[in-house]
Amino acid sequence: MLDLREAVASPFDGQSPEARAIATLFSQTLVVCGVIFAIVAVLVGYCVLAFRARKGAKEPPQTEGHTRLEIAWTIAPLLVVVGLFVLTARAMAAADPPADRPADMTVIAHQWWWEARYPSGAVTANEIHMPTGTPWLVDLRSDDVIHDFWVAELGRKIDIIPGHATHVWLQADKAGTYTGACAEYCGSQHAWMRITVVAQSPDEFAAWQRHELASPPPPSTDAASRGAQLFNDHTCSQCHAIGATANVDRARIAPDLTHLAERTTLAAGLLDNTPDNLGRWLKSPQSLKPSCHMPSLQLTDAQVNDFVAYFETLR
């Protein structure tokens, strides 16, 4: 399992102008509300103490209506609300500008994984790559229920409603790996719907994308060849694509496996991508991620080993 401290990114640690605009708005609102809270608390405390009931005290004078006071306590909150509105509108403009060009990529949410498609034809899952230093426009869709795409360090949070395309701007100041998650309850495995964003220099990103478009090398060992045969004999290929078959222009049933061995996690963040974990996953996906759409295929240990040998060649 992943270390949770590593896996959960902080929304207060913005690594892009968009994310920082949101974090700044939060801090500003917190300060304004903190000042109001302090003023109200002090006044209430003063009134409770200064005007508390004393034995034998006469009833204080009763006044009704105070025009200047009433105008003041109407205008002061109005100014606070207008001020917060202006700050919010500015943060929204910075974090969520309208989409003014074709998207740089499409991300499709599924129960419980993310499909990532690039206009070049590259397809991957649960791990998206993007270049650093430039706003990156992501077209978002859902294949089933309402999900929510959230990579806190790079951009805003956005609901994805089936049948309704939406978008989000991501940007990364510096190269690195950023974790995100589905932020809208979408079924039993909602918690294991993590997404990893790998931000790379534009050159590295271009190289990655060229590599993604290439088919993996043919299996070179006996075990890997047997694994490839098993993949075709079982029903795997009806849901998962590998290589050239990957370039179909429709949402998938299951993650693309063309370069599976290069991804960092399995099952949308549930497991580190190691041969051991891959074997465990193939042996019993339903005990690791109950009710996910990957069936338990009742594989023998020898078959699991062959599958793993084959999948490890998918680079």
Question: Which residues of this protein are in contact with ligand CUA, per CB under 6 A?
Answer: 109, 112, 147, 182, 184-186, 190, 193
Smallest gap from Cβ 95 to ligand CUA, in A, equals 21
Smallest gap from Cβ 23 to ligand CUA, in A, equals 23
Contacts of residue 150, Cβ cutoff 8 Å, sequence gap at least 6: 156, 157, 158, 180, 181, 182, 183
103 vs 193, which CB is nearer to ligand CUA?
Answer: 193
109 vs 309, which CB is nearer to ligand CUA?
Answer: 109
Smallest gap from Cβ 183 to ligand CUA, in A, equals 7
Whole-angstrom Cα distance, residue 107 to residue 46?
A: 56
Instruction: Please tell me whether the peptide bond between 112 and the residue prior to it is cis, using omega within 30 degrees of 0.
Output: yes
34 vs 162, which CB is nearer to ligand CUA?
Answer: 162
Tracing tokens 């790998």 back to the chain, one arrives at 198
Whole-angstrom Cα distance, residue 158 to residue 115?
A: 16
Smallest gap from Cβ 247 to ligand CUA, in A, equals 25
Smallest gap from Cβ 220 to ligand CUA, in A, equals 38
109 vs 224, which CB is nearer to ligand CUA?
Answer: 109
H or E, element range at 150: strand 147-150
Angle between helices 275-283 and 301-311 (to 10 degrees): 130
CB atoms within 10 A of CB 201: 13
17 vs 187, which CB is nearer to ligand CUA?
Answer: 187
3-state DSSP assignment of residue 135: coil
Smallest gap from Cβ 294 to ligand CUA, in A, equals 16
Whole-angstrom Cα distance, residue 103 to residue 231?
A: 34
102 vs 290, which CB is nearer to ligand CUA?
Answer: 290
H or E, element range at 33: helix 17-50
Smallest gap from Cβ 130 to ligand CUA, in A, equals 21
Smallest gap from Cβ 189 to ligand CUA, in A, equals 8
184 vs 312, which CB is nearer to ligand CUA?
Answer: 184
With residues binned 3-state (H G I as helix, E B as strand, rest as coil), the percentages for the chain, rounded to 5, are 40, 20, 40
186 vs 292, which CB is nearer to ligand CUA?
Answer: 186
Whole-angstrom Cα distance, residue 238 to residue 248?
A: 13
Cα–Cα distances in angstroms (integers) from residue 283 to residues 276, 280, 287, 298, 301, in the given order: 11, 5, 9, 7, 8
